[in-house]
Amino acid sequence: MKRRRLLLINNFLRRGASYSTSAELAEQLANRGWSVTCTSHYENKILRLADMLLTCLRARSRYDAANVAVFSGSAFLWAEMTTALLAALRKPVVLTLHGGNLPQFARRNPGRVRRLLARSHAVTAPSAYLAQQMAPYYDKIKIIPNALDLSRYPFRLRERALPRLVWLRAFHEIYNPMLAPAVIARLQIEFPEITLRMIGPVKDGSLEKTLAVAEKLGVRDRITIIPGVPKDAVPAEISSGDIFLNTTNVDNQPVSVLEAMACGLCVVSTNVGGLPYVVEDGVDGLLCAPNDAEAMIELVRQVLMDTALAARISVNARVRAEQCGWATILPQWEDIFQRVVT
């Protein structure tokens, strides 16, 4: 039987939590007997694009099809250029859509988006939200959720949630980290032991703004800042808390929320983008409007005060996360790749 060969074009940065779903997919496919070539690990954008294009050319005898990640902004150009080159090489392409900002980008650039998607042999998205938002540009999008290696995320039932909060995202304005200190500031009198761990790489000036808000509100000593951790350390960092705070203004299907649910944390999140497709409000998490400190404070208070609510959310969160285990998700990837290479 001919060995199945695939090129993955995505973010393969070798450090921190950025080494995530794309690298895990490559590992899972390799374990199933696929020959997988990956690009790119360069952080510099120009070097990354060059590496992607050169890999398409130099490795063309080592792959039969390619999976190309599609992001908004300047990264969209990478997908355009690599897909055009792959078309010239007559290599089938599966495009995978990413990011809560992609629908807005598509509305501003409908022609570019339609042309790119028309070159594909298949298109996937990690959430029903993104698939629905992008349907006007391509109406046969296959939903394949982000996946987790559940064995790495030990579950602990939160029968009584303690005021230990965890926030895990990049420090970037779109994720609104400045909201988190405001939440604990209002709760510190009622819950004097409240703490917050904020974990993630620094992308813009949001960390400095977050610290300034914390200083102003008198809660700086309650916040531990961890500017990025190795992927293998993420489960332990998440498990140190009982409540997962997600303050974002833009999102799709965040892996960090799934990771928290797998560990049994009670997720309190904004209801933007694809989050209502990930978290069922009142069942396996609690949702509120974006940038609404009062609403988020009240939801955290409910979890801390209502032991039955905390326990129910904790159990249901793990059940939800188990739907995204590799045992369920990997066969979906294999099926779509197999169809384009045969």
- Under 8 Å CB-to-CB from 342, ≥6 apart: which residues? none
Chain-wide mean pLDDT for the chain?
94
List the chain residues with pLDDT less than 50: 15-19
3-state SS track over 50-71: HHHHHHHHHCHHHCCEEEEEEC
How many whole angstroms separate alpha carbon 235 and alpha carbon 155?
A: 10
Give the containing element (helix H, strand E) for 38.
strand 35-39
The answer to whether residues 7 and 37 touch, using CB atoms and an 8 Å cutoff, is: yes
pLDDT for the residue numbered 187? 97
**Considering the domain 150-322, what is its CATH architecture?**
3-Layer(aba) Sandwich (3.40)
Find the length of the chain: 342
- 5-147+326-341 belongs to which CATH class? alpha beta
pLDDT for the residue numbered 2? 66
pLDDT for the residue numbered 252? 84
Q: Among 203, 193, 169, 195, which Cα is nearest to 272's?
A: 169
Q: Among 328, 340, 341, 332, which Cα is nearest to 3's?
A: 341
How many whole angstroms separate alpha carbon 6 and alpha carbon 27?
A: 12
pLDDT for the residue numbered 16? 43
pLDDT for the residue numbered 335? 96
The reply to whether 5-147+326-341 and 150-322 are identical in fold is yes
- pLDDT tens column, 223-257: 999 987 888 899 999 999 999 999 999 888 899 99
Domain positions in the chain: 5-147+326-341, 150-322
pLDDT for the residue numbered 285? 98
